[in-house]
Structure 1
Amino acid sequence: PVIAGTGCSSTKATLELTAWARDQGAKASLVVTPFYFNPTYNEVYQHYDKLMELEFPIVMYNIPQCSGVHKEWWTTEGLAELPNIVGIKDSSGNMPFLMSLFEKIGGKIAILCGNDEIGSAALEAGADGLILASANIFPEIWRKIYVAVKSGSPEEAHRLQKEIQKVVRIIVRSGGCEAVKDCLRLMGLDMGFSRKPMVEGDACRWEDIEELRSELQKLGKIPRREVEYNLGGKVVRTKLFATPDTPRKVGGFELKIGEGFAGPPIHENAHIDLLLGLRKGPVGKAIEKALARQKEEYRARIIREKPRVLLVPTVSVKGKKMVELVFTHAAAGINLAIDHSIEDGFLPPETLDEISMIANVFVHPSARNRKRVMFNNYKAMRYAIRKAIESKPTLRQLLEARESFRHPFRYTP
């Protein structure tokens, strides 16, 4: 059965589109609260009341973060009495409002949760079902959550929700459109790009896409694939978690460049510029020169030998606090990222004696949260390694992103 989205800002347009959907064979219409004009509660009521003349099932849609209008429970309670109102989809994420709906109209019409972050909680509280953006990505997990709740196994539902929580948080925060399409592309299902004004890499930022990739990998949505590395006189085959953009053959190990960003919070944001290449090539020679010419004790430091990694701070390292943040916590994150990149297949064990890295690492002088410094540098380094190996961003990504260039630290948590 098809439930057609037919809500418009005017009652006239909504009537026309809903009638068209009915005539095309839809089973019901999902009608968002009229937006833009900021209608009063009585005007919202009259809007839905007018739709009753179509004698067609209507599911109300409450999504105030997009419509700018939030239904109150008393308006919804009255609307539930109308003859063709069969349900409400609430995407507000407002649990007190949802609990009011269960109290006032539970059992009268279907109550559906549309907020991915509270899916299992809503089901446990009494929701009849879910309509979720992330169900396009892992429908089988949401079905398991639904079955777990309805069969009296809330612990299993909690466990499953926790597994997908980071993905759904990014989707909800970024508005859903691009994030869902980005996930599907990473999984090998190219659904194209969202229509304008949505722009790739903006609401769902490039660093978010990298994080989605890491999470989808954990969920088994991105499989391993064999990739051939050509290190000049040596060929290494590795199985890594590959997306459609991952090349089947990787060369050019004389010099590879990657970049990674991660946050929040703002003072603990991480920015890594990475040079990766052969020890006998430009990167290895640059490390030797840097160490030979270094005058200040805390200017740069070797933090690993396999592969050889030189950490170069972006800002001056002064005082014990900065020394600790840069060379203990940021360095720990970078080393953990390398460990995981080895496990993921991006840095095969056979290459570790052959390559070197120079990581230009930004740690803000006002940073305080040691764990976030470590974790953000871990994420930024992991992203930078992947981008270096896969030669990203691609030309297509650069052309698409030309409309949304921004300062990398415009990071909203």
Structure 2
Amino acid sequence: MNKLHGTGVALVTPFTPTGTVDLAAWKRLLDFTIAGGVEYLVINGTTGESPTVTSSEKTDLLRVAREYVAGRVPLVYGIGGNDTAAVVQQLRDTDLGGVTAILSASPAYNKPSQAGLVAHYQHLADASALPLLLYNVPSRTGSNLAADTVLHLAQHPNIIGLKEASGNLEQCLAILAGKPADFLFLSGDDMLTLPLIACGGQGIISVMANALPRKFSDMTRAALAGDFAQAQQLLFSLVPLNPLLYEEGNPVGVKAALALQGVCEPAVRLPLVPASAGLTARIKVLL
């Protein structure tokens, strides 16, 4: 799965000021990120506000992306949930033509045991026609995919990698030390991309790369090439912006940054609200 090395961008879902999906802005975002040099696109992740995007809207977003991107870069599609049977049915019912892999976040709210997480992901991997990327994001799901659990799941032939967003460096190192050579380790935290690549990771699925695709993908490629001096310089230039992207919730900040560049509106769906004037002004200064 070398095509998923480097920078993947967890795309926002653009909305009009009245709240409908903005497919014209969606195409601008696809062009903006591809022209910025990212290696692949991730559709229907949490940054895409997947909990508040309807099934028919998700179908339209994937269809338009598949047709408009036309093979320029690989596509990864998010399918997850806390009802294993329902996720299996989604995997079977979704037209996944043109998609390279599935990204599936751990079940939220149920707080399953490690054995439950293993069983959940094994069911998904058995049912999926496409390779599966695990996604560990305890701050959102309320449960953590432990290192031993990841390494156990890595033995499944249809589970090809992990997006790791626990922020626990010791856990990351345990996975990197024990994983199979062909198992993808992708950072889920933009600011940890460089150190995790230095320890054997293959890239990042990034929020910031929506708004700064060129600088972020250049940083990731420099790290993968072993040019850590250049990667460090680029990373440090991004550090001040990073907390502002999450200060009022994700993707509130990154949509404000995109709006300032004319890519899409800052609109989000309730219970999120658009960035405040103060936050937008601080983001503008850094951009």
Trace 1:262-273 onto structure 2 (pairs within 5 A): none
5+ residue gaps, structure 2: 1-73
- Cα deviation, 1:269-311, whole Å, max 9, x if unaligned, reads xxxxxxxxxxxxxxxxxxxxxxxxxxxxxxxxxxxxxxxxxxx
2:195 matched to 1:121?
yes
1:23 CA displacement: 4.2
**2:264 paired residue number:** 190
The two structures have a TM-score, normalised by structure 1, of 0.49
Query: Structure 1 pair 15/136, CA: closer, same or farther in 2 (3 Å)?
Result: same
- Cα deviation, 1:357-380, whole Å, max 9, x if unaligned, reads xxxxxxxxxxxxxxxxxxxxxxxx
The two structures have a TM-score, normalised by structure 2, of 0.70
2:75 matched to 1:2?
yes
Residues of 2 paired with 1:182 and 1:26: CA distance?
28
**1:65 paired residue number:** 139
1:14 equivalent among 69, 87, 98: 87
2:80 matched to 1:31?
no
Query: Structure 1 pair 80/22, CA: closer, same or farther in 2 (3 Å)?
Result: farther
1:40 CA displacement: 0.6
Contact 1:4/1:30 (8 A) holds in 2: yes
Contact 1:22/1:28 (8 A) holds in 2: no
Letter in 2 for 1:210: A
Query: Structure 1 pair 187/66, CA: closer, same or farther in 2 (3 Å)?
Result: same
Residues of 2 paired with 1:63 and 1:78: CA distance?
18
**1:87 paired residue number:** 161
Letter in 2 for 1:169: P
Contact 1:60/1:87 (8 A) holds in 2: yes
Query: Structure 1 pair 108/147, CA: closer, same or farther in 2 (3 Å)?
Result: closer
- Cα deviation, 1:10-69, whole Å, max 9, x if unaligned, reads 101211222233544422110000111111110100001111332421000011111111
Residues of 1 paired with 2:88 and 2:242: CA distance?
33
**1:212 paired residue number:** 283
Contact 2:154/2:180 (8 A) holds in 1: no
1:101 CA displacement: 1.1
Contact 2:108/2:141 (8 A) holds in 1: yes
Residues of 1 paired with 2:246 and 2:137: CA distance?
12
Letter in 2 for 1:122: L
Q: % of aligned pairs identical?
A: 25
Residues of 1 paired with 2:92 and 2:173: CA distance?
32
Give the number of the structure whose residues are more often strand, by fraction: 1
SS at match of 2:112: coil
2:217 equivalent among 120, 143, 156: 143
Residues of 2 paired with 1:81 and 1:116: CA distance?
27
Contact 1:148/1:154 (8 A) holds in 2: yes
1:173 CA displacement: 4.7
Residues of 2 paired with 1:129 and 1:110: CA distance?
8
**2:253 paired residue number:** 179
Letter in 2 for 1:85: I
Trace 1:5-404 onto structure 2 (pairs within 5 A): 5-21=78-94, 23-54=96-127, 55-201=129-275, 205-216=276-287
Higher relative contact order (CA 8 A, sep 6+): 2
Query: Structure 1 pair 193/116, CA: closer, same or farther in 2 (3 Å)?
Result: same
Contact 1:3/1:28 (8 A) holds in 2: yes
Larger radius of gyration: 1
Letter in 2 for 1:189: V
Contact 1:4/1:21 (8 A) holds in 2: no
Contact 2:186/2:203 (8 A) holds in 1: yes
Residues of 2 paired with 1:207 and 1:97: CA distance?
37
Letter in 2 for 1:14: V
**1:244 paired residue number:** none
Residues of 2 paired with 1:117 and 1:206: CA distance?
25
Residues of 2 paired with 1:23 and 1:144: CA distance?
30
SS at match of 1:96: helix
Residues of 1 paired with 2:251 and 2:180: CA distance?
30
Contact 2:81/2:108 (8 A) holds in 1: yes
Contact 2:133/2:162 (8 A) holds in 1: yes
- Cα deviation, 1:218-248, whole Å, max 9, x if unaligned, reads xxxxxxxxxxxxxxxxxxxxxxxxxxxxxxx
Residues of 2 paired with 1:51 and 1:188: CA distance?
39
- Cα deviation, 1:311-331, whole Å, max 9, x if unaligned, reads xxxxxxxxxxxxxxxxxxxxx
1:156 CA displacement: 1.2
**RMSD of the TM alignment (CA)?**
1.7
Contact 2:252/2:266 (8 A) holds in 1: no
